[in-house]
Amino acid sequence: MSNCRFLYHNGVVLEAPPVTTFLESLTGAYTTTRTISNGTSLLFWERHMKRLSSSIRILLNSKPELLFSSGSSPRFWMNQPVPHSSIYDLVNGSMSEALKSVVVKESDRIYGEELAVTVLVTGNVEKLNRLDDGNKWDEERKVLDFLDVWLHLGAYSPFPLGVRENAASLALVGRGRDVAAAKYSDWVRLRKPLEKFRSPSTTELLLSNDGDHLLEGCITNFFVVCRRVKSSENLYGGSLSEFEVQTAPITDGVLAGVIRDLVIEVCLSKGIPYRERAPSWSERELWEEAFITSRSFHIHNLFSNILAYIYLFWPNTFNVLCDVCIF
């Protein structure tokens, strides 16, 4: 693996710190994906842009201090329109130039090696304060005029799937996030105190508001496959209809992760029983499997091999989920 790592801003490629340090240093909305096909395409790019647009809109209208630099008091309009197509064009122009620059500068990058890509959009108060009031069309234009785009690119390290020794180990450490429906860089800094509860073997830290209903991880979404049983039924041994996939609903305060949405879409399209309900730790005897999803892990099992489990109960869905999990 090469040591490729770049920061791209305003048409200039800069030396980059580790991605965590980069996110801690700036305030804004962000998303992270990776390249595919030897760096020629971006994985689920359209989905990531939609979520980034959504995060910007949520922060603008409910928590602008999480989009603008700390200590600033931006002049701000409620229900400010944030056109997805405009955000896409804004980011895509920078991304195309950044990828070209990386190819030129990193000629020794190993062939076939992919890049992890983090897009951070920040609000620029100085630009905002220079703008004049205008009509709705002007206000839509203003959203783009006071946003800055930062791109962090680094070598991507795939995580081995289906290896029992790599099963995730989780720890429950704290309450759910504020403004959980948006993905924002301040959370990288805010979650640092929780790291003191992480043991060397812990893969991810889970969040819960009551110590029982599990919302999400600090950087992942959390799912369980559990048995749906009546009081008269045996917990062990059952049919397809006795299983369902569960994960906390967005309304409980979780992020709509890109891989989370894909798993849900596959369940709905293939007839896999699915319910948006925060998994309950007190009902863990009903769990057959649990897994976390994220850009880094895709689908990472806790107990056994989740892909083998899905193949056993829903063989027609196995190849579809493999397309989601393995790239």
Residue with tokens 């990386």: 102
Instruction: State how far the Cα of 50 lies from the Cα of 308, in Å rounded to an integer.
Output: 32
Are 194 and 273 in the same domain?
yes
Cβ pair 199, 231 in contact under 8 A: no
pLDDT the model gives residue 253: 96
pLDDT the model gives residue 240: 47
Are 149 and 231 in the same domain?
no
The SS3 of residue 123 is: strand
> Which domain range does residue 41 map to?
5-155
Are 112 and 204 in the same domain?
no
Q: Is the dihedral of CA 68, 149, 326, 263 positive or negative?
A: positive
pLDDT the model gives residue 210: 94
CA 175 → CA 34, 172, 198, 206, 212, distances in Å? 29, 9, 15, 9, 11
Q: What is the pTM of this model?
A: 0.83
Instruction: State how far the Cα of 110 lies from the Cα of 94, in Å rounded to an integer.
Output: 24
Q: Is the dihedral of CA 18, 21, 26, 31 positive or negative?
A: positive
Give φ, ψ of 142 to 5 degrees: -60, -35
β partners of residue 119: 31, 151
pLDDT the model gives residue 86: 85
Are 148 and 179 in the same domain?
no
Give me the CATH number covering residue 134. Answer: 3.30.470.10
Q: What are the average pLDDT values for consecutive 10-residue runs of the chain, which has 327 residues?
A: 78 89 96 86 92 94 86 57 83 86 61 85 82 53 81 79 64 93 96 89 90 94 85 46 90 95 90 93 90 73 47 42 39
pLDDT the model gives residue 309: 40
pLDDT the model gives residue 164: 53
pLDDT the model gives residue 305: 43
Are 140 and 173 in the same domain?
no
